[in-house]
């Protein structure tokens, strides 16, 4: 399935616009392709962020939805109507989102496990475990660049391991610290949901998965994503994941944290991450 054809050797840029339970959005740019992964921010906020990064009202090519939960989708319909970009997701996610969205929107069905071409980028979805209709992660790939993206993943799966193989940038959930969750203010029911196999990935599980990837496949740039405001912190997530990696491998890597409420990171193919707060 093709949305648009262009040069396959274009460089790729990734911008972390927001990551967390208050809203998720990542922009991936390549020659002939501007792709938004999740749209969990208000339209005005997302539109301003995209404009600042050179994507105008008619410049967005697709909105990839991992699942229908509002922190990933609340602005998707409005952004689709504003830009004409289709919402790309599997049938169950499109239906679950449409059940909440009062106005029509453009959509393009991408069955879980299938691939669509958007400009110079091949996009493949894969199944993750979460309490949504049919949640997925994405692999975005050009001739020279491979990016893996998954959040809201309750447990490590073979699909997640496969997505990480050969990638240069991994955007991976490190949602909570197990002890902070256990001792924290959530209700027993909410704690059980977060810790379940259809909840969210812990720092320890994230670190073990990344250590396995590094040991098997070499250096990597890592963005820790979807950190809990209550049960985690950027410093704790970095420390815990780094400790788990160090227990298993000495392969070099770059690790940053995608922040919750504002744009925080930029990555360009062939270069390291840039932490915007340091500029």
Show the domains of the chain with their CATH numbers: 2-269 (3.60.15.10)
Confidence of residue 273 (pLDDT cuts 50, 70, 90): low
| Whether residue 4 has pLDDT greater than 50 | no
* Closest by Cα among 164, 264, 268 to 213: 164
- Rounded CA separation 234/236 (Å): 6
pLDDT of residue 276: 44
Neighbours of 129 (CB within 10 A): 19
In the chain, pLDDT over 70 holds for what percent of residues? Answer: 94
User: Could you tell me the end-to-end alpha-carbon distance of the chain, in angstroms, rounded to an integer?
Assistant: 40
| Whether residue 137 has pLDDT greater than 50 | yes
189 vs 272, higher pLDDT: 189
Most distant pair of Cα atoms in the chain: their distance? 52
* Closest by Cα among 193, 225, 210 to 72: 225
Task: Please give the C-alpha separations between residue 226 and each of 21, 111, 189, in angstroms, as whole numbers.
Answer: 7, 24, 20
- Rounded CA separation 223/173 (Å): 8
pLDDT of residue 31: 85
Which 3 state secondary structure label does DSSP give 250?
coil
| Whether residue 277 has pLDDT greater than 60 | no
| Whether residue 248 has pLDDT greater than 50 | yes
Answer yes or no: pTM beyond 0.85.
yes
Confidence of residue 5 (pLDDT cuts 50, 70, 90): very low
pLDDT of residue 272: 59
Which 3 state secondary structure label does DSSP give 126?
strand
| Whether residue 279 has pLDDT greater than 60 | no
């Amino acid at each position: 399935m093709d949305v648009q054809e262009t040069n396959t050797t274009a460089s790729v840029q990734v911008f972390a616009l927001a990551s967390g339970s208050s809203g998720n959005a990542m922009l991936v740019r390549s020659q002939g392709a501007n792709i938004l992964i999740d749209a969990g921010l208000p339209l005005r906020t997302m539109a301003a962020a995209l404009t600042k990064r050179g994507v105008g009202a008619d410049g967005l090519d697709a909105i990839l939805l991992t699942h229908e939960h509002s922190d990933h989708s609340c602005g998707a319909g409005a952004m689709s109507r504003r830009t004409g970009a289709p919402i790309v997701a599997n049938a169950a996610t499109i239906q679950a989102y449409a059940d909440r969205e009062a106005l029509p929107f453009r959509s393009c069905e991408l069955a879980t496990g299938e691939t669509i071409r958007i400009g110079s980028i091949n996009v493949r979805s894969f199944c993750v475990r979460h309490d949504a209709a049919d949640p997925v992660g994405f692999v975005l790939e050009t001739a020279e660049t491979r990016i893996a993206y998954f959040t809201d993943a309750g447990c490590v799966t073979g699909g997640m391991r496969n997505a990480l193989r050969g990638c240069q940038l991994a955007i991976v959930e490190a949602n909570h610290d197990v002890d902070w969750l256990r001792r924290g203010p959530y209700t027993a029911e909410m704690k059980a949901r977060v810790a379940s196999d259809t909840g969210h990935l812990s720092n320890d599980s994230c670190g073990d998965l990344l250590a396995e990837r590094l040991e098997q496949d070499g250096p990597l740039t890592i963005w820790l994503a979807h950190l809990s405001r209550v049960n985690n912190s950027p410093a704790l997530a970095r420390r815990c994941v780094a400790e788990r990696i160090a227990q298993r491998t000495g392969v070099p890597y770059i690790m940053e944290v995608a922040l919750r409420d504002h744009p925080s990171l930029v990555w360009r193919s062939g270069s390291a991450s840039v932490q915007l707060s340091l500029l």
